[in-house]
Structure 1
Amino acid sequence: MGDVRIKTPNLDDIFEKWKQSAVKKDRKQMEKQFGTKGAVFTLDAISAAEYVVPPALKGAAIYFSIKKTVAPAKGKDEDTVMAPRVSRETFYSFKSTKVNKDNWKGDEKVPTYESITAVACKNCSGKGYIEDKCSTCKGSGKIEEDLTVLEGEEQKKQKRTFSYPCGECYGTGKVQNPCRECGGHKNLYKYEILPVPFQSVVTGIPILHSSLQTKYEKEIGKDLQDLIESVEGIKFNNFKELDDKSEGSLGYWDKNVKKTINAAGNDYKNYEKDKDTQIVTQIYLFPMIQLNCKSKKGKKYEIYSIGSENNFMIYSNF
């Protein structure tokens, strides 16, 4: 590709385009800021020479568009825990909601609330306890003790056996100990660890870097995505070519333009490495101009242009 020089719009043309747009958007505000009491309001009386505060600032914007294809992680895992441990886990619920991966913070597989299921404990057959021989009565269900009985006038000592039901096992000979497997809760609880349902495809995401760092970058990026053929810029196939030829193409250069190109280039490299991302356009270089203005009534505002003298868009905070 040979060197291509792109001419920036004339300041008067930028201001004129802004005037026409501003009066359509809010004529009363224009009359308030630029009108003369007792005179008929006319745009002809509003000129760049009078209301643009020099100097005009020159910059550059780098634009390209990507398509992100985001597939959820594959497979699922399961975990089975005792009842008290369920509340210690963090669960997620998505139902039919799709998730934007760029906004997601966390693992790509997470425990899901709807999958929590009670599973009868196999160790105790869902009873919550294990029956063991009573250690107090050794499984007999009764306690036997020796009594001393004095017989007759001679009070001869005799040993007699006295038995009574065991109070530990209620005379059954068995005790119920909490099941160690389920902790006495009869059930264990199983839940699934499933992939986060990321949106399958997000298409046409505009990427814009501007050396003038306006608050309109998102708006400009969206407009360029929709109207890319209506704004004149220079196309490049890679950032090496852009870096080599940007100064000659713009006809001006400063450290902010260089920083912007470097930042855009780093973004571009990251998107190239991202397996979920496809770069779907060439790289566009657009000249930008910022006009600092002050109305007749003293209101300060800015006008930004992006594009060449042949085709450009404007933005303003008027």
Structure 2
Amino acid sequence: MASTPFELTGKTVFVAGHKGMVGAALVRRLARENVELLTVGRNEVDLRDQAAVFGWFAKKRPQAVFLAAAKVGGIVANNTLRGEFLYDNLVIAANVIQAAHTNATQKLMFLGSSCIYPRLAPQPLREDSMLTGPLEPTNEPYAIAKIAGIKMVEAYRSQYGSDFINVMPTNLYGPGDNYHPEYSHVVAALIRRFHEAKVSGASNVVVWGTGTPRREFLYVDDLADACIHLMKSYSSDELVNIGTGEDITIAEFARVVAAAVGYTGGISFNPSRPDGTPRKLLDVSRLAKLGWRASTSLKDGIGLAYQAYLRDSK
């Protein structure tokens, strides 16, 4: 069962989803720890393939697991690819958690998503608000898959005494983000849109939605640092939100991104595009009591993300 502090030093540590934005940030952060890092590409082991996952775990027997693998995307991807988002994320969570259990993994962290909380839950979102109301319809399949993963972790703690924990990141951005013109998250979408407008000399950029929803944004390397902190120091069946504790309207945020990119033209909004949840701010008081706070400001983080976009798009 649980032992805190949990020492990572000398352990074999598997980052599931190491090529994604979150997984890559975890790999960068783990480079500062004395661990034997384990990763595996989708071409070798598809995490949706139960037999392949079980076989890999039986061979490698990782002592610690960060379950960051997921099918992810922005509001359009979530609402369009509903079956894929539900199936892929359900199966990935079930396969990895069960494989960790059967192969005596000492500790596992499951990364959820703030979309698990009800659409109109009281703000800021407390960890105990999960399953207290209807979900945001546009990302309901993804949220249900993540809730299933959370409940699986809770069940394995309860039934088997597994030292498995759940964390809930807020909206993330940074190096390795997906800049697909339709399926990206809002940060990557705006970075790309403003950059292309600057290069082309466009006089106006249209931002989806009304601009009024409020969102919280966390630089992905801050998330990775929080995950390492919690892996070492936290063991409980209660969720832990990971965020900054501050939010901003999409309209204000668009201006922050435009300034970071150097775009000086006009910005307008298209209310025919969906807004999603009106507000999504995490209550991070539990995380603060556990001794961690975000250190990257939104202005600095967007600047770093834009530099990464320029490198990746060459």
In the superposition, the TM-score normalised over structure 1's length comes to 0.19
**Structure richer in helix, relative to its length:** 2
| Larger proportion of strand | 1
> What is the TM-score when the length of structure 2 is the normalising length?
0.19
Return the index of the structure with the highest Cα Rg.
Answer: 1
